Structures are given as structure tokens and as C-alpha cells.
């Protein structure tokens, strides 16, 4: 394996971005893929999510980017969520490429903003097949200058019924366009697409070898990005820990978070690539000696870190690949001890969480975010324990005499004096804090119902955490006569309504219409958007089933 990205032949702006992102060394798929794509060859890759494949295709394609504002790279993804993630990755890698623009294109949002961006000019377009085709029909997307095309998670696109749309898009790309296809599996339909459009492609196969330590309890908390620091503080307040290692993506974040934790009363320090080896070792020795309790680090800076007293690893930022996650949490649970790993994810990173679970074969359990009461109870317990410790170990005679004299002279109750002293003591760290409530983002199941309409026949399903989700039956004005299949309906709804396919219930096909079960409580905005969505070149025109009892 190459020791670093420099040996792969990437340009200086990309290497600078990669270094700043904290990439330690190329993953196996990056080592194999980057040289192939840099040389202009087509590629067929068998790889799971979480192996680092986004960087594997984005970096070499960006390396060959030209200074023009028409789309040169097109990436097709099965879901809007993945489209956004891939687009954000491109933006991160191209941070030092002057004038770079990337546009995520997907359904479920106003198309006007996408039209304006395309008119201004972008170099990279990342999108779902349905919306890409929509732009091609409108002639708002020009593929004539595309030099690099990627099909990401091709088997998922097949499962969601997008394969015909994918082939329609492929047929409109230039013959000389470089192509790469990535898929976790290779069903016959995907092999046919590869044979037709990839020609003499180089085939690589990457298998994930991740295994986690069984003694480590793994938890995750879904929070919005701006809430992470608040949740981190609450976790550290309530958890009983010895030493904590917090992982972030950037060097600047290590310093920023360590300073904020220090200001909130935690003995913290940062290590990153800017520290000299001597200062890094001094900081780690302080952690070993108990002079600091919390270390905030990047992947690069934590390389080789082995401290037995680390009881908790907190992934403040989710790692870029599954192997990194395993390496990170392996810093705890050492020397036969139990360890705990906590992962913060934003709502759009849910698929990365599921990828980690799939590759490690272990469930990551949801973490109950500490409430205002939890923090209050913990602070009061610590305060009372410190009082008892002081009373048992300190010489208090002079202080007792002083307080007795003070109480006598001012005719004060001893409980009132103790309360006043406790109040003064806790000013910097209130025993009765007033914290904002943090509600973990959940599945689209808004309490805002669709007016006074009564729901159709109700069914249920369970999510990963065992929560029961009520379902409502809807009618779609497309059926067997229109050539529709369940996968077409799943794909259309998943992209247009941003509902994961696992939360789409039973689908029944009839000659002129279909029915589908969806989570109860669909917001008005989503419902009205779905009414305008198309499936198999026909308007979906969704409605509640009980409005068509005569059908």
C-alpha cells in the first residue's frame, strides 16, 4: 500500500486539501482506483459503502479538471442523501481549486435554484437519475463536455428501479467520456450496463475487513451540527469516565473544541499535525498522568496513541470510512478493560452509520441525550460528594468557629448560611442549570397533519430501534398498464419525499392505479410535492386511498 497520497500522483491543491481533511493514508480502494482513473481508464469497482470510494473517484477526476464552467464530471447516485454527501466531498477536495463549483441535483426541492446554478456554470454535477433526466428534457443540463462519469451504488439504483433512467443518461454522454461504476454486488443487469458502456474496464474488488472490539459499548446520538458542542458537554457531565479521546476532522477543530471544553471546566488539550513530536509526547504524557482528562485529536495526530486510561472515545465528527471508525474506537477497551464509544451523526449522515454497522457486523445503539434534569442531578451529586469529602478530611475548626460567630452576631439560621455559601460556590457551574431541550431529529413524521383529512387504512412497521411507525395507505394514478413496478414507486418516493426505502411499506399494483403504505403524518409540503412527482413518465398524483372507495 502507498504510504501517502503524494505517491499516487495527485496535484498540489488536492494534496493540500487531503492533508487538511486529516487523511492519514490512502485506503485500499484509493490505492487501486486513483492511478487507474488518473490514467484515463474506465473502471468497474466492487466495493461497499464506507471503504473510501468517494475520494477514490473524486480525487483523480478533479485532478484532470479543466478551467471551464460547463459540466465536466457527472456522478449518478440512487438517493438525494448520497448526492448531497458526494457533492460536499467534492467541495472539500476542491477547496484549493480556483473557481470550482459543484451542484447536487435531486428531486424534492425547488428546481429553480438548480436551473440558476446550471445557467451560471458548474464543473461537477451530482444527482439522482430522475432529476438528471428532468434537466436533460428541459435542455438545462449539457453533457456534451462531460469527460468523467461515475455510477455510485449501481446495485441500489437497480433495486430502486432507476436502471432504465441510468441507461438513458449514459446514452447521452460523449463516447470518449471516461466512466467508472461502483457496486456492492454485480447482478446481471449491472454487468450488462458495464459491458455496454464501460468497454475494456479495469475491474477491482475491495472487501471490508473491519472487526470491532467486543468489549466496547457502541452508541450514537443524532444531533444537528450546531448542537454537537452542547451535547458533548452534557455527555461529559453525566458519563463516568477516566480519560476521553475526542476525534474531529480538522486541526482547527481540535483547538477550538479543547478551548471550549477547558472554559466549561474540563481538563482538556488538543493534538494535531501542527504540534512538534516533543509537544505531542508531552501532551500524551499529561493524559497518562491524569493532568488532563480529555484529549481532542485528528486521525493523523492520534496515530500510535496507546493510553490505558482512555475509557471513552467520542467521534465528534463521523469518520470518512469504516476502517477509520474501527481504528478510532480501538483506542478504548484496552488491557482487558471495558470501553465506550459514542458517535455523533447529523440526520443526513444516517446512511454512514448503517454502513459502519453493516461492515462491522455489530449494532450501534442509540444514546439517550442527557436532559437538563440529568445534568442537574449529576452536579448536585458531585457537589454533595465533595462536601462529604471535605468534611471528612479537612481541618474545619477555625472555619466552624467563624461561622458560629457570624450566625450568632447576625441571628441567622445555619441552613441559610450554608445555602448562601453553596450559591456562591456554584456560580461558575450552576447546580440548577437552565439548558435548552435537545430533541433528536427523527424520521419524517410531522405532527402537522394534512388538514382535516382522515387517514386511510392503517398498518405499522418498526424502525431499527424497535419504535412502531403507523402507516397510511395512499393511491397513485399509475398501474400495471403503465409498466410500473414496485421498484419504480420506491425510487420515486424515496427521492422526491426523502423517505428511506426501508420506511416504505406494502405496495400493491392494479391495472390503472397502485397503492403504497407510507409513514403517518406526512407534512403538507411533502404531500403536495409528491402530487406533482412523476413515475414511469406519468404523474404520480398521490392521494389518500379512502377518497377513492368506488375504485
pLDDT in tens, 333-376: 776 678 899 999 988 788 788 888 877 778 888 988 888 777 77
Using DSSP bridges, classify how beta strands 339-345 and 216-222 pair: parallel, antiparallel or unpaired. parallel
Answer whether residue 383 shows pLDDT above 60. yes
pLDDT of residue 453: 39
φ, ψ of residue 35 to 5 degrees: the values are -60, -35
pLDDT, averaged across the chain? 83
Please name the residues in contact with 175: beta carbons below 8 A apart, sequence gap of 6 or more.
Answer: none
Distance (Å, whole) CA 518 – CA 21: 39
pLDDT of residue 146: 95
Answer whether residue 432 shows pLDDT above 80. no
Closest among 496, 550, 406, 394 to 160, alpha carbons compared: 496
pLDDT of residue 448: 35
Distance (Å, whole) CA 311 – CA 334: 9
- In CATH, which of 3.20.10.10, 3.30.200.20, 3.40.50.720, 3.40.50.300 is domain 6-205? 3.40.50.300
Q: How confident is the model at residue 446 (pLDDT cuts 50, 70, 90)?
A: very low
**Among 69-73, 240-244, 427-431, whose mean pLDDT is lowest?**
427-431
Answer whether residue 442 shows pLDDT above 60. no
Distance (Å, whole) CA 490 – CA 501: 6
Question: Are the C-beta atoms of 514 and 489 separated by less than 8 Å?
Answer: yes
CATH 3.30.70.330 segments of the chain? 458-548
pLDDT of residue 189: 87
Q: What is the pLDDT of residues 217-235, one digit of tens each?
A: 999 999 888 889 989 988 9
Q: How confident is the model at residue 443 (pLDDT cuts 50, 70, 90)?
A: very low
DSSP one-letter string for 284-299: HHHHHTTS-SEEEE-T
Closest among 74, 110, 128, 111 to 501, alpha carbons compared: 128
Q: How confident is the model at residue 90 (pLDDT cuts 50, 70, 90)?
A: very high
From residue 347, give the alpha-carbon distance in Å to each of 108, 353, 495, 499. 16, 10, 16, 12
- Does the predicted model carry a pTM greater than 0.85? no
Answer whether residue 550 shows pLDDT above 80. no
What is the CATH code for 458-548? Answer: 3.30.70.330
In sequence order, what E strands does 327-437 have?
339-345, 365-366
CATH 3.40.50.300 segments of the chain? 6-205, 216-371
pLDDT of residue 144: 92
Answer whether residue 137 shows pLDDT above 60. yes
Topology (CATH level 3) of domain 216-371: Rossmann fold (3.40.50)
Instruction: Give the residue-averaged pLDDT of 462-482.
Output: 77
pLDDT of residue 551: 43
Q: How confident is the model at residue 1 (pLDDT cuts 50, 70, 90)?
A: very low
Amino acid at each position: 500500500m502507498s504510504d501517502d497520497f503524494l505517491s499516487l500522483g495527485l496535484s498540489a491543491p488536492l494534496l493540500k486539501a487531503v492533508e487538511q481533511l486529516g487523511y492519514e493514508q490512502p485506503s485500499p480502494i484509493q490505492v487501486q482506483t486513483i492511478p487507474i482513473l488518473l490514467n484515463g481508464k474506465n473502471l468497474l469497482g466492487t466495493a461497499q459503502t464506507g471503504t473510501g470510494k468517494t475520494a477514490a473517484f473524486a480525487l483523480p477526476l478533479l485532478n484532470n479538471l479543466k478551467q471551464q464552467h460547463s459540466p465536466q464530471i457527472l456522478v449518478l447516485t440512487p438517493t438525494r442523501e448520497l448526492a448531497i454527501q458526494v457533492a460536499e466531498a467534492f467541495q472539500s477536495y476542491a477547496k484549493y481549486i480556483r473557481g470550482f463549483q459543484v451542484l447536487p441535483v435531486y428531486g424534492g426541492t425547488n428546481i429553480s435554484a438548480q436551473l440558476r446554478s446550471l445557467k451560471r456554470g458548474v464543473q461537477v454535477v451530482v444527482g439522482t437519475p430522475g432529476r438528471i433526466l428532468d434537466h436533460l428534457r428541459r435542455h438545462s443540463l449539457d453533457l456534451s463536455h462531460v469527460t468523467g462519469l461515475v455510477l455510485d451504488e449501481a446495485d441500489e439504483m437497480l433495486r430502486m428501479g432507476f436502471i432504465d433512467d441510468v441507461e438513458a443518461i449514459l446514452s447521452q454522454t460523449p463516447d470518449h467520456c471516461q466512466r467508472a461504476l461502483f457496486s456492492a454486488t454485480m447482478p446481471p443487469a449491472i454487468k450488462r450496463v458495464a459491458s455496454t458502456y464501460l468497454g475494456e474496464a479495469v475491474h477491482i474488488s475491495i472487501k471490508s475487513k473491519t472487526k470491532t472490539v467486543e468489549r466496547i459499548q457502541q452508541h450514537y446520538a443524532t444531533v444537528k451540527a450546531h448542537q454537537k458542542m452542547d451535547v458533548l458537554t452534557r455527555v461529559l457531565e453525566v458519563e463516568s469516565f477516566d480519560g476521553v479521546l475526542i476525534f474531529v476532522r480538522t486541526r482547527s477543530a481540535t483547538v477550538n473544541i479543547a478551548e471550549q471544553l477547558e472554559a466549561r471546566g474540563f481538563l482538556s488539550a488538543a493534538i494535531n499535525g501542527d504540534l512538534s513530536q516533543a509537544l505531542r509526547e508531552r501532551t500524551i504524557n499529561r493524559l497518562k498522568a491524569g493532568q488532563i482528562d480529555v484529549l481532542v485529536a485528528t486521525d493523523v495526530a492520534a496515530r500510535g496513541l496507546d493510553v490505558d486510561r482512555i475509557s471513552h472515545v467520542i467521534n465528534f465528527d463521523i469518520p470518512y470510512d469504516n476502517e477509520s471508525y474501527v481504528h478510532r474506537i480501538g483506542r478504548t477497551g484496552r488491557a482487558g478493560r471495558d470501553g465506550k464509544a459514542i458517535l455523533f451523526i447529523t440526520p443526513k449522515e444516517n446512511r454512514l452509520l448503517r454502513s459502519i454497522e453493516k461492515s462491522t457486523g455489530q449494532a450501534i445503539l442509540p444514546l439517550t441525550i442527557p436532559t437538563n434534569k440529568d445534568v442537574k442531578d449529576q452536579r448536585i451529586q458531585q457537589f454533595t460528594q465533595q462536601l462529604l469529602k471535605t468534611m471528612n478530611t479537612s481541618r474545619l475548626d477555625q472555619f466552624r468557629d467563624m461561622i458560629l460567630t457570624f450566625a450568632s452576631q447576625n441571628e441567622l439560621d445555619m441552613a441559610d448560611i450554608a445555602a448562601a455559601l453553596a450559591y456562591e460556590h456554584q456560580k461558575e457551574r450552576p447546580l440548577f442549570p437552565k439548558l435548552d431541550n435537545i430533541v433528536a431529529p427523527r424520521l419524517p413524521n410531522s405532527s402537522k397533519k394534512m388538514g382535516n383529512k382522515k387517514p386511510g387504512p392503517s398498518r405499522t412497521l418498526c424502525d431499527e430501534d424497535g419504535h412502531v411507525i403507523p402507516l397510511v395507505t395512499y393511491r397513485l394514478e399509475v398501474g400495471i398498464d403503465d409498466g410500473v413496478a414496485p421498484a419504480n414507486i420506491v425510487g420515486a418516493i424515496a427521492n422526491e419525499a426523502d423517505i428511506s426505502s426501508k420506511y416504505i411499506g406494502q405496495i400493491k399494483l392494479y391495472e390503472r392505479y397502485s397503492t403504497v403504505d407510507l409513514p403517518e403524518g406526512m407534512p403538507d409540503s411533502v404531500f403536495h410535492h409528491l402530487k406533482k412527482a412523476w413515475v414511469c413518465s406519468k404523474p404520480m398524483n398521490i392521494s389518500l386511498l379512502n377518497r377513492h372507495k368506488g375504485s
